[in-house]
């Protein structure tokens, strides 16, 4: 394996076929502001909370029980709990690379010892299946999640390889991968796992080890899917696990959102590494259509609670938005791969939208409770879960410490720890900055190298200043993303200001140390309107400011019934001076009306509803920050006053 | 048991406490028109189809396997399949009483013999639990459905008692009921069944046998519920099976809709028979609030596919309407009991709405396939199920022959067979006709008796003529329901016409043979508007004509994208002359526009959507008749042109 391949980077496509190349995790060091706060929260709260919880609920103990052969009587938790340990190891590995954390290094070593002791001689490793008195290996490919768990183990090992992690962990993963190739190869078991994940993991392990068999096995899994290999399900049939239509023939992402997105990421990885242009363009088209028709304003995906699945095109109810945190994480994986492959700005836009509004929304301000689902509306205050008791998924607008299926906290942890890898890229001509965070960037491109300082308080304001700290004096290109939401933007290079439009703005110069580029994005709060085919938000507006989607939450206006509020889009939006008790946010003030309802009986009437409106002012906060002040009601989409007035008789 | 108690009536509250008394099934003989057609379909297609299917899928064979003690190796189907046999027996019993059907009598006898052979010596009877090699009796109260199955067996026996059915069946049921009282009595197992049904069944058996213990056991089950006796569930916790809050403390129906409604029916039965006014008024308030905030325009209930549950107040998405056929059947049970108890017209209105729009919608025109869910919108044509293969619930807008959980076809069969029992009532002063069907009515009230002929082609037109065919010459009161939707109605008594308003119109006279009362309801098609708190249908109108909700379906306008159609409520609605290829329906013609969409990318925009509209005319058909011409798209609620115009820039 080469040093390039083992760079600390969460996704590492080989350079031959992609448009852009990823940076190593530590090339862009975040030094302050929004993302520094989240990474600190991750390091100090989220990762230790995951680790402690895994011990507390006994999911780590399962590995000890495996080593002492007592699983038959002692195993606890659902069948995929192993994967949470792997995701936590992955998070610790990235975090340790980002900023040395000896306690995480020690912990990884200790956990690796447990895995070692639990691994079978042929490489198989699972605490739910395959032991005396337990269910047989691979006896339930639909729901067993064995390859899914392996996938996360491989990802942990990939993080270890790229961050100098313990050789033992890498060995365990290689033995697992070899076992998979032996069992499921071209002539092996002709089946697939109900939950994709192994595909992308195998390609990533191939990238880090150079072992071509892993790539080939990933390719086999991708091609084997979609031929009705698995049994039918009650959740939208085999669409649920993408086994109805071959990957390269599908038109749009369907079924269980996380499964669909992990599969898409794996298929892109296979396409990139094998040069399969047809597969790449099929998955790109599927994801594009998913963005155009099956994605929430927040970037969230998955409209249906039943089966955690995508809805039909434009079926995007706010209240029943499932928008699982893990689907947002997986969507970032897909968008990042497409950004690397195509260089299209829309994918960086989508990553930003998803990070700020569907991923950062999951943890509470103290990093000790989490949203599994990220609904865009909540009508009735929920009930906070009992402390210490793992929750089911919770759909009542309250976060929980832990879940019986606890994929979201650990997925969040590995994402925040590896965030530095998703901010910028390079190509032979220079550096592209896609996401803005205060910090220092030090990276190579082609055979050259540059150092940049990024100063900004984004997303609180929209001024990003990039200063060249070190360069070789030759000409190269610095590219900055101008998000689609910024209708106007100004770029100042060497004192010269010009208007730029959304997309990628590139400046090619013989840069000198001390040169600055200043990008001013349009941070005026704005109203957003939806395609009229999205029934649930017909006649509504939402509010955004910068990359943040805003929400109306009851603690700021306890006297209002949020189901009856309308917003006056002609009255504008203003920064609010009021202290809403949430740290670091810019509240907004809006005007509208509270509708009166003249009945409380059968809710359908032959008469056009009567309209009497009481003018009101209300405060909006960033969506991600809601539900941090006790159980509340909330909505992102607010009926428009002008439309509501057209609806009624006066 | 007295003859009154054994009258052929689907629900028989004792006369002491209710406002109104039910008629025997055969007191109102339907002779033609809409309901005669459905009852013929039921007799000739639906019931035989259920019976044949039960044999074909092996669910009847399970009883034979029980008798020969081979269940351990031979049992097929999910754990509640026994109940489908019981519901089919019940349907045959009512149908046989309605119009003699020797083949059904024979079949009931044959099935009874199977039950007899399968029943344990202590009365227990279940093909899934309680045999050597099978799971233990009552080992899974949350999901086991044992008492639920017993409930349907008791209901079948009640139908047998009231229709002169086989004594053997009645004996089997009494032994089951005695077993339940012994097992679950005050000092017995302190638990309840996850699926209510036994409560109402025990009260009905009490009503038919006079055995007070059965009523007491029902009362115990109702009171025992709501104390977190059962374990937690992933479907909205214990609300799922109404075990979170005691029945008399609940504010609204929650959780699994069919469970909530069966429980409500049982609680009302207990309240009526024990004179428990507080319990009655609690359940009435819960159901009233459910009607006001958690019910679809079609009368359908249950907004969430996940757990088949009620949503929050006003959470009523059209596309994801679950609106299970069985919930509609159960809602009729509750509404009928409340009508009997209170005499309030709203419950008869709701029964009508539910029958025409949520129950009759289930069967296909040939009575051989069924909707399990009754959504109000379908965006993409579904795929017809494979013939001969039981479907899962199907949510794609196509009906299926049979389901792995096949409660809906058999529930429909027993409802249509017993429909005659839900049309009219009596009190000491006379007769109340609630539902209109051409036929002859011959019933006693107080110590008197009258015969009436009802002539009508309702719901195709709105003229109902009641002719007194026989009476004693003394004064008595004939009451007719004027549905809430009929803003104007005219009543002509002895040639004298007067305007009447919606509610109950009563005429007290010394009636003579040949006297007629003619009621003319307002059958002009009308637009209906929803409470603005129902987000999904904001800015929409629906169309109704008489008791029928209408829908826009693609086969009538294949050139239109139904997601883009708006309706012009100022242009009115007209009867359509076009032949839509559906029997016996009155199509309507409406005007509106088809919107143009100027983008096919990210569906949220900072600009108000642009509006260009192409004027169009389109046809509407009764909702119940949709999906009878191949897979299609459909919508009940249509965005209003005037509101849509206010939404856009031109």
Digit-coded pLDDT (tens) for A97-156: 999 999 999 999 999 999 999 999 999 999 999 999 999 999 999 999 999 999 999 999
The distance of B140 to chain A (nearest Cα, Å) reads: 19
The answer to whether the Cβ–Cβ distance between B320 and A313 falls below 8 Å is no
Average of per-residue pLDDT across A302-323: 94
- The rounded distance, in Å, linking the Cα atoms of B523 and B520 is 9
Q: pLDDT band at A387, cuts 50/70/90?
A: confident
Q: Measure CB to CB from residue A320 to each of B234, B317, B392 and give the nearest one.
A: B317
Q: How far apart are CA B315 and CA B403, in angstroms?
A: 27
- Which of A348, A532, A567 best tests the B interface by mutation, with the highest count of B CBs <10 A? A532
Is there a contact between B313 and A379 if contact means CB atoms under 8 Å apart?
Answer: yes
CA distances to B182, B191, B216 from B174, rounded to whole Å, are: 12, 21, 15
Q: Nearest chain A residue to B570 by CA: give it.
A: A608
Contact list, B391 vs chain A (CB under 8 Å): none
**Contact A267/A242 with Cβ under 8 angstroms?**
no
Q: Which residue of B has its CA nearest to A600?
A: B292
- Weakest-pLDDT range from B91-95, B365-369, B389-393, B537-541: B389-393
Mention every residue, 6+ apart, whose C-beta is less than 8 A from residue A297: A357, A376, A528, A530, A542, A549, A636, A637, B604
| Side-chain-side CA neighbours of residue B443 (13 Å) | 34
Helix (H, G, I), strand (E, B) or coil at A500: strand
| Rounded Cα gap, residues A250 and A87, in angstroms | 29
Q: How many CB atoms lie within 10 A of CB A110?
A: 10
Q: Which of B292, B318, B644 sits opposite A602 (nearest CB)?
A: B292
> Average pLDDT for residues B628-650, to the nearest whole number?
93
Instruction: Give the pLDDT score at A17.
Output: 59
* Least Cα separation, residue B58 to chain A (angstroms): 20
Q: Which residue has the higher pLDDT, A577 or B101?
A: B101
pLDDT tens per residue across span B328-355:
999 999 999 999 999 999 999 999 999 9
Please judge whether B536 and A540 are an interchain contact, meaning their C-beta atoms are less than 8 angstroms apart: no
Whether residue A306 and residue B311 make contact (CB cut-off 8 A), yes or no, is: no
Question: Residue B385: what pLDDT?
Answer: 84
Chain B residues in contact with A318 by the CB 8 A cut-off are: 535
The Cα–Cα gap between B500 and B511 comes to 20
- Considering only CB atoms, which chain B residues are within 8 Å of A604? 297, 528-531, 542
Question: Is A542 close to B604, i.e. CB distance below 8 A?
Answer: yes
Q: Inter-chain contact A532–B380, Cβ cutoff 8 Å?
A: no
pLDDT, tens digit (0-9, with 9 covering 90-100), for A436-474: 999 999 999 988 999 999 999 999 999 999 999 999 999
Verify whether the Cβ–Cβ distance A380 to B485 is below 8 Å. no
Banded pLDDT at A610 (limits 50, 70, 90) = confident
Instruction: Compute the nearest-CA separation of B218 from chain A (Å).
Output: 31
Q: A489: which chain B residues are within 8 Å (Cβ-Cβ)?
A: none
Beta-bridged to residue A622, according to DSSP, are: A550
Query: pLDDT at position B609, please?
Result: 81
Question: For tokens 């109605």, what's the residue?
Answer: B489
Average pLDDT, chain B: 94
Q: What is the dihedral of CA A449, A454, A458, A463, to 10 degrees?
A: -110
CB contact under 8 A, B563 and A533: yes
Is the pLDDT reported for residue A1 higher than 60?
A: no
Cross-chain CB nearest to B608 (options A297, A529, A608): A529
Average pLDDT over residues A326-355: 97
- Phi then psi for B224, rounded to 5 degrees? -75, -20
Mean pLDDT for B605-625 is: 92
Residues of A in contact with B607 (CB under 8 A): 529
- What is the tens place of the pLDDT at every residue in A171-222? 999 999 999 999 999 999 999 999 999 999 999 999 999 999 999 999 999 9
Best of A539, A561, A572 to substitute, by most chain B Cβ atoms within 10 angstroms, is A539
Listed in order, strand segments (DSSP E) in B55-163 are none
**B contact test, residue of A358, A394, A602, A641 with most B CBs within 10 A:** A602
Cβ distance of B532 and A236 shorter than 8 Å: no
> Tokens 């957003």 sit at which residue?
A528
Per-residue pLDDT at B17: 59
On the question of pLDDT at A650 being above 70, the answer is no
Residue B457 structure tokens: 């082609």
Kindly report the number of other CB atoms within 10 A of residue B365's CB atom: 16
CB contacts < 8 Å between A and B, how many?
189
The full 3-state SS of B340-365, as one line of letters, equals HHHCCHHHHHHHHHHHHHHHCCCECC
The pLDDT assigned to B3 comes to: 33
Residue B577 C-alpha, separation from nearest chain A C-alpha, in angstroms: 25
Residues paired with residue B28 on neighbouring β-strands, in sequence order: B441
Alpha-carbon distance B33 to nearest alpha carbon in chain A (angstroms): 27
Amino acid B2: pLDDT: 34
Torsion from C-alpha of A283, A286, A289, A291, nearest 10 degrees: -70
Contact (CB<8Å) A318/B603 = no
Cis status of the peptide bond prior to B120, with omega within 30 of 0: no
The sheet with strand A516-521 has its strands ordered as: A28-30, A439-445, A448-456, A463-470, A516-521, A489-493, A496-500
- Please indicate whether, in this complex, the C-beta atoms of A320 and B319 are within 8 angstroms of each other: no
**Residue B612: predicted pLDDT:** 76
Nearest to B317 among A291, A306, A317 (CB): A317
What is the nearest CA distance from B601 to chain A, expressed in angstroms?
5
CB contact under 8 A, B312 and A640: no
- Are B647 and A639 in contact (CB < 8 Å)? no
Give the count of beta carbons closer than 10 Å to the beta carbon of residue A78: 13
CA distance linking residue A127 with residue A72, whole number of Å: 10
E-strand ranges in B397-515 read: 424-427, 430-433, 438-445, 448-456, 463-470, 475-482, 489-493, 496-500, 503-510
- Rounded average pLDDT over A537-548: 97
The two tokens of residue B14 are 């004792």
Pick the residue of B347, B489, B535, B650 with the most A CBs within 10 A to test the interface with A by mutation: B535
Counting residues of chain A whose pLDDT is more than 70, the rounded percentage is 98
* Interface contact A292-B603, CB threshold 8 A: yes
β-pairing, A475-482 vs A430-433, is: parallel
Residue-wise pLDDT for A116-133, tens only, equals 999 999 999 999 999 999
Whether the CB-CB separation of A345 and A504 falls below 8 Å is answered with: yes
Q: Which of B607, B608, B639 sits opposite A538 (nearest CB)?
A: B639
Region B592-617: mean pLDDT is 89
* CA–CA distance, B301 with B305 (Å, rounded to integer): 11
Token pair of B362 as six digits: 């289930």
**Closest in A234, A526, A537 to B393, CB measured:** A234
- State what percent of residues in chain B have pLDDT above 70: 98
Nearest to B642 among A312, A595, A646 (CB): A646
Q: Does the pLDDT at position A560 exceed 90? A: yes
Residue A539: which of B233, B311, B643 has the nearest Cβ? B643
Backbone dihedral angles phi then psi of residue A119, each to the nearest 5 degrees = -75, 135
Cis bond upstream, residue B508 (ω within 30): no
Mean pLDDT of chain A: 94
CB contact under 8 A, A531 and B599: yes
Q: What is the ipTM of this complex?
A: 0.94
User: CA angle, corner A448, sides to A447 and A451, nearest 5?
Assistant: 150
Enumerate the residues of chain A whose CB falls inside 8 A of the CB of residue B643.
Answer: 539, 643, 646-647
**List of chain B residues whose C-beta atoms are within 8 Å of the C-beta of residue A383:** none
Average pLDDT over residues A584-599: 92
pLDDT at A37: 97
pLDDT at residue A89 greater than cutoff 90: yes
Output the pLDDT for position B4: 37
Under the banding of pLDDT at 50, 70 and 90, the label for residue A3 is very low
Q: Least CA distance to B640: which residue of chain A?
A: A647
Distance, in Å, from the CA atom of A328 to the CA atom of A333, rounded to the nearest integer, reads: 9
B521, B540, B604: best to mutate for the A interface, most A CBs within 10 A: B604
Tell whether the model's pLDDT for residue A334 goes beyond 70: yes
Contacts of A304 in chain B (CB under 8 A): 305-306, 320
pTM of this structure: 0.95
What is the token pair recorded at A46? 């989220």
């Amino acid at each position: 394996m080469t040093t390039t391949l083992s760079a600390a980077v969460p996704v590492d496509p080989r350079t031959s076929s992609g448009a852009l190349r990823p940076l190593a995790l530590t090339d862009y060091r975040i030094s302050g502001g929004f993302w520094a706060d989240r990474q600190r929260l991750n390091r100090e709260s989220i990762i230790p909370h995951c680790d402690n919880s895994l011990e507390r609920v006994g999911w780590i103990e399962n590995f000890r029980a495996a080593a002492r052969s007592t699983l038959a009587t002692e195993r606890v938790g659902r069948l995929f709990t192993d994967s949470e340990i792997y995701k936590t190891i992955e998070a610790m590995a990235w975090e340790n690379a980002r900023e040395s954390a000896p306690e995480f290094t020690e912990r990884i070593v200790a956990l690796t010892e447990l895995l070692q002791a639990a691994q079978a001689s042929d490489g198989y490793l699972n605490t739910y299946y395959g032991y005396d008195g337990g269910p047989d290996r691979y006896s339930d490919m639909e729901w067993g999640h064995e390859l899914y768990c392996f996938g996360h183990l491989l990802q942990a090992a990939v993080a270890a390889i790229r961050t100098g992690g313990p050789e033992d962990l890498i060995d365990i993963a290689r033995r697992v991968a070899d076992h998979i190739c032996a069992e499921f190869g071209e002539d092996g078991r002709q089946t697939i796992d109900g939950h994709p994940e192994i595909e992308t993991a195998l390609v990533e392990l191939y990238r880090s080890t150079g072992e071509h068999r892993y790539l080939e096995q990933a390719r086999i899994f991708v091609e084997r899917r979609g031929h009705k290999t698995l049994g039918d399900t009650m959740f939208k049939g085999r669409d649920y696990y993408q086994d109805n239509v071959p990957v390269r023939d599908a038109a749009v992402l369907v079924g269980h959102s996380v499964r669909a997105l992990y599969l898409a990421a794996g298929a892109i990885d296979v396409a990139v590494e094998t040069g399969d242009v047809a597969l790449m363009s099929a998955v790109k088209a599927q994801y594009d259509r998913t963005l155009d028709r099956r994605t929430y304003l927040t970037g969230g995906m998955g409209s249906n609670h039943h089966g955690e699945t995508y809805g039909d095109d434009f079926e995007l109810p706010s209240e029943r938005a499932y928008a699982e945190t893990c689907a947002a994480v997986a969507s970032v994986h897909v968008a990042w791969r497409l950004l690397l492959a195509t260089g299209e700005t829309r994918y960086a836009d989508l990553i930003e939208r998803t990070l700020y509004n569907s991923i950062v929304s999951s943890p509470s301000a103290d990093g000790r409770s989490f949203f599994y689902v990220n609904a865009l509306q909540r009508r009735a205050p929920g009930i906070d879960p009992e402390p210490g008791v793992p929750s089911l998924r919770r759909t009542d607008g309250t976060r929980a410490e832990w879940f019986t299926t606890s994929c979201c906290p650990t997925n969040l942890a590995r994402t925040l720890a590896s965030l530095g890898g998703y901010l910028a890229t390079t190509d032979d001509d220079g550096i592209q900055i896609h996401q803005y965070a205060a910090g220092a960037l030090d990276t190579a491109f082609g055979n050259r190298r540059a150092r940049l300082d990024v100063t900004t308080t984004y997303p609180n304001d929209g001024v990003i200043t990039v200063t060249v700290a070190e360069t070789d004096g030759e000409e190269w290109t610095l590219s900055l993303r101008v998000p689609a939401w910024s209708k106007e933007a100004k770029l100042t290079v060497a004192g010269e200001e010009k208007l730029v439009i959304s997309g990628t703005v590139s400046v090619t110069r013989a840069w000198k140390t001390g040169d600055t580029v200043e990008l001013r994005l349009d941070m005026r709060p704005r109203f957003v309107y939806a395609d009229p085919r999205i029934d649930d938000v017909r006649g509504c507006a939402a509010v955004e400011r910068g990359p943040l989607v805003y929400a109306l939450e009851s603690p700021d206006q306890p006297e209002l019934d949020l189901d009856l509020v309308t917003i006056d889009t002609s009255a504008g939006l203003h920064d609010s001076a009021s202290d809403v008790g949430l740290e670091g946010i810019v509240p907004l003030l809006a005007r509208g009306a509270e509708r009166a309802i003249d009945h409380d009986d059968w809710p359908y009437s032959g008469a056009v509803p009567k309209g009497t409106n009481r003018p009101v002012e209300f405060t909006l906060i960033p969506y991600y920050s809601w539900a941090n002040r006790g159980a509340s009601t909330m909505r992102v989409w607010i009926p428009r006053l002008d439309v509501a007035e057209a609806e009624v008789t006066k």
